[in-house]
A and B are shown apart, each in its own frame.
Chain A
């Protein structure tokens, strides 16, 4: 059985700030060693491939980069699934997080009930390179704190639900 709670970092590890979700996942993994209920993974895939990652989990925290142009680089955005409808579901041709969940449910796969998305506003996700830009780099530690807090919150919520059921 996979761990009930998954922290999933997304990004491209050689596209400068695009990798920030992966950096955060790596740090979170180091700090969460010894907490078996939370697994941390990092992936450079997207779209339909996310189905394989999140199926079978009870709760997921996705960590990604975002470029809204309306917040300074390093700003931490937090989305719930409700917020995502505006961003993703109007695309007929890309499988967003919400569609992935709906698709999984439709296919009868066990899909997470809780999904949180943390996205770091980035400066440069287009230049090949393995370094984050300074403002984004400085935001990593705070983002890791927040991701871990979110994952622990989800874990205890699950434990309470589990206790109530049993």
Chain B
């Protein structure tokens, strides 16, 4: 965005904020608490003691654009993958694709396939981590289990020690494949404009074929575990489909030419809350379809469908709020491109009452469906004769100017957008991360959970965990900005009465 446009944008934003402040009471956020690195939810009650508004605050990552300016564009896949220790491969790949666009070059077929192999391996590994270790405590152990058991050890207690070993061992092997191509998982040096830096040696292929086969078996086993422990429990199914965790919004995801779910490439498709296609566009056109809304109470930018305009935090057929991540991808597509994932996809929608599914907690199941797809795609790729071709890169010759790259990160659609001078030095860098795409719906989920659990000033037992469950299903990357101890984002919920006096504070470390 050039300076003049930015100025106009900022002025408009300031006016919108002023109007908002005038309409609502003045709400100030203590600047000190902003920096503590806490996930912070402020709940404001009305005179009857019911919830008027609930706000989720997360720490802000500062200075990305300034840090990037003047750096060679080729450094961006490394820099952006270092921002976040949670999904480095997603940033690396989106950035690499932005470089392809910047240098107007297509990767060689083998280069693209290696990227896809690494990417699907990463998706399988990351989803497995979430299913078993991050989301697992809620469902595999159970939302009502004592806190001392709702952890990874409780998960292993439930699935069995051998199964626990299987999860850890599979994850390690998947990470070894990523490291084979890119070096360290957190600092991959794989992607380059026009391809990748390393070919797959034919003599190493058998062990990756073995791994892909085992990965698929692992994904199938995960689906069985999920069905048995989660879907086999009527209370969980009731919870998943309960109104407290349901929002009728639009959904966005990458799809291939047949409108099947795609993680690495394709067009972005958006469907509304009835499942009807709202738009479908090439990632390079994203600015015509996606805009960002700013609220005075949050650092987060709330993305919305530009052509519908910002309608506020509302759901229904006319909403401009969309969500991303596994459930959204399944909703936005017509199916899965591989047979076993397709079968799981059909069962998912059949069980949950047809398309689209609006239950946030169904993200956990959707994640397992996607694990199958990732594993099946790995099997396809390692059995593709071209995967061991040494032709893994084309050297770019065009003069760079602008590039946009998009992938589906585990947590949803991830945009990288760069502009450079003719020497390829960054003059503008913008990211829209998955959690930004989901921010509006996450805010709605938190508020809805709070409204359901606080009535007449009475706070229902288990409020913290129920609210946390509402946003954990999206797997938001709240802690991605920093590794600072304690290494995760503690949750603080502050409840204020209608005089804005703090009446209760709940903390979950």
Residues of A near any B CB (own CB < 8 A)? 10-15, 18, 43-49, 51-52, 64-67, 69, 86-96, 99, 102-103, 106-108, 119, 122, 125-129
* Bound: A106/B163 CA distance, A: 12
Number of residues on chain B facing chain A (CB within 8 A)? 53
> A residues within 8 A CB of B135?
93
- Nearest B-chain residue to A62, judged by Cβ: B485
Tell me the complex Cα distance, A95–B465, Å: 17
Would B509 and A87 count as touching, CB distance under 8 A?
A: yes
| A87 contact from B168, B172, B485, B508, Cβ within 8 A | B485
Q: Is B60 touching A88 in the complex (CB atoms < 8 A)?
A: no
The 3 closest A-B CB pairs, nearest first, are A94-B488, A128-B67, A92-B150
A60 to chain B, nearest CB (A): 15
Contact status of A126 and B509, CB under 8 A, knowing A44-B187, A65-B484, A66-B485? no
Q: From B150, B156, B508, B509, name the one whose CB has the most chain A CB atoms within 10 angstroms.
A: B509
Contact with A along B260-299 (1 / 0, CB 8 A): 0000000000000000000000000000000000000000
Set of chain A residues within 8 Å of B153, measured between Cβ atoms: 99, 102-103, 106
Stretch at the interface among B5-13, B77-85, B449-457: B77-85
Q: Do B482 and A126 have beta carbons less than 8 Å apart?
A: yes
In the assembled complex, the CB of A93 is this many whole angstroms from the nearest CB of chain B, namely 5
Task: Report the bound CA distance from A48 to B86 in whole Å.
Answer: 11
- Known A91-B151, A93-B137: A14·B168 in contact at CB below 8 Å: no
Q: Do B485 and A14 touch across chains, with their CB atoms under 8 A apart?
A: no
List residues of chain A with CB within 8 A of the CB of B367. none
Evaluate contact between B483 and A18: CB separation under 8 angstroms.
yes
Residue of A with least CB distance to B130: A93
- Within the complex, the shortest CB–CB distance from B204 to chain A, in Å, comes to 21
Most chain A CB within 10 A, of B66, B161, B472, B481, is at: B481
Known: A14-B67, A126-B62, A128-B64. A92 touches B137 (CB 8 A): yes
Binary flags per residue of B429-448, CB closer than 8 Å to A gives 1, else 0: 00000000000000000000
Chain B nearest Cβ from A43, distance in angstroms: 8
Q: Within residues 452 to 467 of chain B, which ones have a CB less than 8 A from any CB in chain A?
A: 465
Q: Given the complex of chains A and B, what is the CA–CA distance between A46 and B56 in angstroms?
A: 25
- Encode B102-136 as 1/0 by CB contact (under 8 A) with A: 00000000000000000000000000010001110
Alpha-carbon separation in the docked complex, A15 to B66 (Å): 13
Shortest Cβ distance from A1 into chain B, in angstroms?
19
Residues from 479 to 497 in B contacting A, C-beta threshold 8 Å:
479, 481-488, 490
- Contact in complex: A64, B485 (CB < 8 Å): yes
**Complex contacts, B134 vs chain A, CB 8 Å:** 93
Whether A128 contacts B185 by the Cβ 8 Å rule is: no
Give the residues in chain A near B79, CB-CB below 8 Å: 14
B186 cross-chain contacts in A, Cβ below 8 A:
43-45
Contacts of A18 in B (CB 8 A): 482-484
Residues of A within 8 A of B490 (CB): 91
Closest CB of chain A to B43's CB: distance in Å? Answer: 21
Q: How far is the CA of A127 from the CA of B67 in the complex (A)?
A: 9
Decide if B147 touches A47 in the complex (CB within 8 Å): no
Q: What 20 new A-B contacts, CB under 8 Å, besides A18-B483, A64-B485, A94-B487?
A: A12-B82, A12-B85, A15-B481, A15-B482, A43-B186, A44-B483, A46-B483, A51-B168, A65-B485, A88-B486, A91-B508, A91-B509, A92-B137, A93-B472, A103-B164, A108-B165, A125-B482, A126-B37, A127-B62, A128-B63
B61 CB within 8 Å of chain A:
yes
A83 to B232 CA separation, bound complex (whole angstroms): 39
> Would you call B133 and A125 a contact (CB within 8 A)?
no
* B484 neighbours in A (Cβ, 8 Å): 18, 64-67, 122, 125
